[in-house]
Structure 1
Amino acid sequence: MQTKDLLKIYRWKMKQIAIITLHSIEPNYGNCLQNYAVQNVFNSLGFDASTELYRNKYFYKKDFFKMLILKLSFGLVPRTDERYNSYCKKLSFQKFYDKYIKSITHRKATDISGKYDYFSVGSDQVWNYKWYKGDDCSRFLLSFIDSPNKIAFSPSFGVESIDDNWREVYANELSKFKAISVREKAGAEIIKQLTGRNATVIADPTMLLTKDEWNKISKKPNGAEEKGYVLTYFLSPMSSEAQERLEEVSKGLKVYKLNDSEDTVVGKAGPSEFIWLFEHANLILTDSFHACVFSFLFGKPFIVFDRNGNGLNMNSRIETLLHTFHLERKYANSRLENDVWEHDYTEGYKQLEIERKKAIKFLKEALGVN
């Protein structure tokens, strides 16, 4: 019997688990990489994990080739680096999903109760009601699944409280979960208020993989310098404070701005290139949760700023991250003594091992793994 046949038999005997998570049409590094991490954690526990996607799986690929055909055949699409890089970036994401994430695609939420042994929602901001449209609410609260084996793997609400119009829906559906973990303390407080249950606060799934595991899927962007650069990744427009700090620390160094779609090096970067850029950066400036995560995992100096135009404080998940791993000094407005280039995360790594064991313990208990 051939190896591939033995592998099929082995997978057939494995318990099946469905991952239900966010999946944006527009490329999203954090969402994509947490999906990869969730899948790999479940696989390491002996499950055959599949992501249930609710979109056109090949949107990126079709969109790219449509643009290419129009440009080459009719000249209807003007050639600009920004537009070209944007489509190349989408294609990079598509290739990553095709290569690394096992998925099944649906146009809308369907009852998949009989297809899997367990169902997991998370991570990312799957419970942020402000994003819900159409059937999204039922999808991410798993109300369309009739099974006692529903768990929440480190999801985030992304808000400090639930609007009154949604409280009853959340309370009713969350009470049906076998086990609930969340990514931040504010989420645990919301669960307690809504259901009376104690949710376990665990690390983001991206932190459960080691830097060596992430290096396996790392890929150098074409033309990128091996060292000697400052990397920025901002999800909101850079504030004047962040811009001033960048000018101060980048003297004599190359600057790569990950969200600069006109940059010929990083403008096309997919998830694998994202990892490489963090791995090799001298310093990172950001307002992104996952940028903080990968800076920490790779032992890089970083500074995290508030989102521009989003109030004075960071959101809860970044606060929880910095506090848990003794990184508060890396917050630009912490008023704590901090050498920008310092990156001694010894105490943080000790806590990381504790948090990894805590997360695996939660999952094993939730999934009945010995």
Structure 2
Amino acid sequence: MKVGIVTFHFVNNFGGALQTYALSEVVTELNKEKTIIIDYRHWFIRFTDFIRVFPITTNVKEVLSGLTTFKERIGRIKKFQKFNNDNFLTSSLYTSEKKLNQCTPQCDKFICGSDQIWNPIITLGVCSPYYLNFVKDKEKKISYAASFGVTEINSKYYSNIEKYLQQFKAISVREKEGVDLVKKISGIDAECLIDPTFLLTKEQWIKIAEEPKNKEPYILVYMMQKNDSVYEYARKIKEILNIKVIDISRYGFKQDFVDEVCIDIGPKEFVGLFNNASYVCTNSFHGLAFSLILEKNFFIVPSTRFNSRIGNLMNIFNLELIKDINKDVIEKESYDKNEIRKIMNKERQKSISFLKKNLFND
């Protein structure tokens, strides 16, 4: 049986690439046939992904750093392309809904998700291909942990969203707020399932990790949206732990307390950096996810955009947001790792049961 996935697979974004990899790997294992990534590329997602190659910032120092590290960002793009080519079986390229309707991918079942494919801010409105509107048979399509990324949606989008949601065999979303939105808009009861990155075990992620050459202890800083507070906390953590700081950077601007910036890295190097970190400081949803999966001590600074995603993940794992740093906070375990493993295993089995039931139990 052929199963196809529609998601943000093509972006130069670590979370986007790795959640695609995880879901495709799990479905492939369940199906015993390689999952197809339907190569649909929304024009605005392509545009925003492209312009990020250039230093889009009002900080002159960051602009200058960005201009001098252009080669490294091209290197990052090539690593993403290699990762995708090595791991994904992709369909023909589709750049519009019209092309999808004219030549619909030949799959027996379709999944949309995960990631923020239902966030109208990101897709400049409601994007029907991310609701699998090109598939006419309701029994063929499900969503897996699709995310709205927000707690409220403009009511002008309700009628289209309701129409598309009514056409699914089964709906699962990534956040509790998504469950509430689906119910409010369509009256449908959706399931809340964990991000696909949690479907693979720590050991499975370590297998694909590209380990950093330098083995000395370090604090890893990873930001999805720029936030000076993350740097302030990272600086305090360095003062307490007295180890180096590595910053996963887009443009290469180096803060005075940072020892090393990493620009030319792909998804495998990203996992390797998290796996070998002594401590993580992040404001990213997937930064938090990989800290938990790889059992790292971390300090999370809430993102200023789409923050419901992090809050929901914290709630799933019964974690409390720590608002200040001191020696005791940093030197003790961030959380009960055994308890996190139990919750993760439970959520993983719940998600796999959903996939088995709705893809293979006809």
TM exceeds 0.5? yes
Residue of structure 1 equivalent to 2:272 = 276
Q: Report the alpha carbon displacement of residue 44 of structure 1 after superposing the two structures with TM.
A: 1.3
- 1:70-119 superposed Cα distances (whole Å, 9 cap, x missing partner): xxxxxxxx996411111000011011001111112223331355611101
Residue of structure 2 equivalent to 1:21 = 7
Residue in structure 2 matching 1:245, options 233, 236, 260: 233
The code of the aligned residue for 2:234 comes to: L
Residue of structure 1 equivalent to 2:215 = 226
**Aligned runs of 1:73-92 on 2, under 5 Å?**
81-92=68-79
Residue in structure 2 matching 1:355, options 329, 347, 353: 347
The code of the aligned residue for 1:34 comes to: Q
Structure 1: segments with no counterpart, 5+ residues: 1-14, 64-77
Residue of structure 1 equivalent to 2:286 = 290
Q: Report if aligned partners of 2:279, 2:296 keep a CA contact under 8 Å in 1.
A: yes
**Aligned runs of 1:1-370 on 2, under 5 Å?**
15-23=1-9, 25=11, 27-46=12-31, 47-55=33-41, 81-104=68-91, 105-109=93-97, 110-111=100-101, 113=104, 115-133=106-124, 137-148=127-138, 149-221=140-212, 224-240=213-229, 242-251=230-239, 252-262=242-252, 266-308=262-304, 310=305, 315-328=307-320, 331-333=321-323, 339-341=329-331, 342-343=333-334, 344-369=336-361
Q: Report the alpha carbon displacement of residue 369 of structure 1 after superposing the two structures with TM.
A: 3.9
SS at match of 1:22: coil
CA distance in 2, matches of 1:86, 1:303: 27
CA distance in 1, matches of 2:108, 2:179: 26
Q: 1:188 to 1:334 in 2, by over 3 A?
A: farther
SS at match of 2:142: strand
Task: With the length of structure 1 as denominator, give the TM-score of the two structures.
Answer: 0.81
Q: Report if aligned partners of 1:326, 1:347 keep a CA contact under 8 Å in 2.
A: no
CA distance in 2, matches of 1:88, 1:243: 25
CA distance in 2, matches of 1:216, 1:279: 11
Give the alignment's Cα RMSD to 1 decimal: 2.7
Q: Report if aligned partners of 1:327, 1:348 keep a CA contact under 8 Å in 2.
A: no
CA distance in 1, matches of 2:243, 2:66: 30
Q: Report if aligned partners of 2:41, 2:95 keep a CA contact under 8 Å in 1.
A: yes
SS at match of 2:246: strand
Q: 1:334 to 1:80 in 2, by over 3 A?
A: closer
Q: Report if aligned partners of 1:287, 1:305 keep a CA contact under 8 Å in 2.
A: yes
The code of the aligned residue for 1:250 comes to: K
Task: With the length of structure 2 as denominator, give the TM-score of the two structures.
Answer: 0.83
Count matched residues: 326
- 1:119-165 superposed Cα distances (whole Å, 9 cap, x missing partner): 1000000000112248x711111112212211001110011122111
CA distance in 2, matches of 1:38, 1:114: 19
CA distance in 2, matches of 1:358, 1:364: 10
Q: Report the alpha carbon displacement of residue 338 of structure 1 after superposing the two structures with TM.
A: 7.4
Q: Report the alpha carbon displacement of residue 247 of structure 1 after superposing the two structures with TM.
A: 1.5
Q: 1:273 to 1:17 in 2, by over 3 A?
A: same
Q: Give the greater-gyration-radius structure (CA).
A: 1
CA distance in 2, matches of 1:338, 1:31: 35
The code of the aligned residue for 2:86 comes to: K
Q: Report the alpha carbon displacement of residue 49 of structure 1 after superposing the two structures with TM.
A: 0.9
Q: Report if aligned partners of 1:21, 1:140 keep a CA contact under 8 Å in 2.
A: yes
Following TM superposition, the consecutive aligned residue runs of length 4 or more in structure 1 with deviations greater than 4 angstroms are: 78-81
